[in-house]
Amino acid sequence: MPDTRTDVLVVGAGPIGLETAAVLADEGHRVQVVDAGSIGDTIARQFPPATRFFTSPERLALRGLPVPSATQEKTTGEEYLAYLRAFAAAHRLQVSTFTEVVAIRGRAGAFRVTVRDNWGRQSEIDTAVIVLATGGTAHPRRLGVPGEDLDGVRRALGDPHRYYGRRVLVIGGRNSAAESALRLYRVGARVSLAHRGEALNPRVKHWIRPEVESLLDEGEITRLMPREVVRIEPGRVILREPGGTATETTESIEVDDVLLQLGYTADRRIFELAGIPLTGARQAPEHDPATMATGVPGIYVVGTASAGTQDKFDVFIENSHQHADRVAAALAGRPAPAPTPPRPLPES
Ligand SMILES: Cc1cc2nc3c(=O)[nH]c(=O)nc-3n(C[C@H](O)[C@H](O)[C@H](O)COP(=O)(O)OP(=O)(O)OC[C@H]3O[C@@H](n4cnc5c(N)ncnc54)[C@H](O)[C@@H]3O)c2cc1C
């Protein structure tokens, strides 16, 4: 159970929430972290087994603590979760997992936050300051066609093993779709890849693209591009060329499973609860990038939560580390730290 009183409540125990909590605790604040799921819940839920980050380990490191690697390869989701646990323990962070924030009342210096645990029990935490580190990828993006909620449609790859011998239609044209198609092919699934574009998205990583492209060219993975989905029915998917009319020819693909890999949207509820306006096409929370302060005094936003729903990612772990220092400076009344120049060739 979380304490009933703290100086700073950090909502979200992803990498940037934990890093911010560690920095603020080092500055002498009494800090509590709550997360609706586990530590690193986004990574725990959204990374298929043995998936590696695109970002190199040195850029994932929190406060310069090296991310260990037995192989010197890029870090897997599992390795990073172990690192996050070790980071939280080493900094003696007080983290309450499976504790979701469901209401925020009060004002700077005297907020009362209602949390709900995994049994449905509610309790309250009084805090002077709130830091929202709630991430930007809570919900899989929807396709918006009839049938997408049928049981045979999945949104997370999970363990590819389950797809052996099955006809799987992967829908999407970015990294996740390309990587899923490759992994499904390699466990013995019969894979088709459908995408609205003429070809895979140009941002597909250069080490994934040639492997998928060659399997598409050889017909080992069936290329369905450009295609859009008209509807999904039990055991089949109806496709057509984009921009077509309902009366023109459609094609029907027989499938055992459909895997939607269309990216994610942010969860806006916490900002609505806190009364923080959302702006722009991304519906990002209004904030001052020098301090990460939102328009609601006493509430800050850090990490990917600050960017709303990102279509093309430009806020990710490697360029969010400095958010913690900005909040720390604002709380101490110090001038905002000079922005760290972006590292060359961002990796997400
Ligand atoms: C396959 C895959 C590969 C990726 N590769 C990379 C990569 O190479 N580099 C990179 O930077 N990123 C990558 N990402 C994205 C990565 O997951 C995010 O960049 C990272 O998790 C963001 O960290 P964060 O701390 O900002 O938020 P998150 O890790 O999303 O943490 C937010 C936390 O807030 C909690 N939360 C939300 N609402 C509430 C609430 N109301 N109450 C309590 N808790 C709440 C959530 O449970 C979650 O644990 C990848 C994602 C996927 C799926």
- Spell out the domain ranges in the chain: 5-139+264-332, 142-260
210 CA distance to ligand 1 centroid (A)?
A: 28
How many CA atoms lie within 13 Å of 131's alpha carbon, on the beta-carbon side?
A: 38
**What predicted TM-score, i.e. pTM, was given to this entire model?**
0.96
- Res 80: pLDDT: 98
Q: Is 270 in the pocket of ligand 1 (CB under 6 A)?
A: yes
Distance between CA atoms of 58 and 322, rounded to whole angstroms?
Answer: 15
Q: Amino acid identity of 165? A: G
Closest CA relative to residue 10, chosen from 90, 334, 29: 29
Element (H, E) at 301: strand 299-301
302 CB near ligand 1 (under 6 Å): no
Q: How far, in Å, CA of 328 to CA of 331, rounded?
A: 5
pLDDT of residue 61: 98
Q: Cα(4)–Cα(34) distance, rounded to whole angstroms? A: 12
Question: Does ligand 1 lie within 6 Å of residue 2's CB atom?
Answer: no
In CATH terms, 5-139+264-332 corresponds, of 3.40.190.10, 3.10.520.10, 3.50.50.60, 3.40.350.10, to: 3.50.50.60
CA–CA distance, 191 with 23 (Å, rounded to integer): 46
d(CA 315, CA 341): 14
Q: Which pLDDT does position 296 carry in this prediction? A: 97
pLDDT in tens, the chain (348 residues): 777 999 999 999 999 999 999 999 999 999 999 999 999 999 999 999 999 999 999 999 999 999 998 899 999 999 999 999 999 999 999 999 999 999 999 999 999 999 999 999 999 999 999 999 999 999 999 999 999 999 999 999 999 999 999 999 999 999 999 999 999 999 999 999 999 999 999 999 999 999 999 999 999 999 999 999 999 999 999 999 997 665 568 999 999 999 999 999 999 999 999 999 999 999 999 999 999 999 999 999 999 999 999 998 999 999 999 999 999 999 999 999 998 888 887 777
**Does 35 sit in the ligand 1 pocket, CB within 6 Å?**
yes
- Tokens representing 42 are 């986004």
Q: Are 221 and 198 in contact (CB under 8 A)?
A: no
Same fold, 5-139+264-332 and 142-260: yes
For helices 321-332 and 15-26, give the axis angle rounded to 10 degrees.
30
Residues 6+ apart with CB under 8 A from 249: 240
**Which pLDDT belongs to residue 220?**
98
**CB–CB of 336/330 below 8 Å?**
yes
Q: Is 271 in the pocket of ligand 1 (CB under 6 A)?
A: no
State both tokens at 310: 């990102």
The structure tokens listed for 128 are: 């002077």
Residue length, the chain?
348
CA of 235 to the centre of ligand 1 (A): 33
For residue 178, give the 3-state DSSP assignment. Answer: helix
Is the beta carbon of 172 within 6 A of some atom in ligand 1? no
Instruction: Pick 142-260's CATH classification: 3.40.50.720, 3.50.50.60, 3.40.190.170, 3.30.565.10.
Output: 3.50.50.60
- pLDDT of res. 40: 98
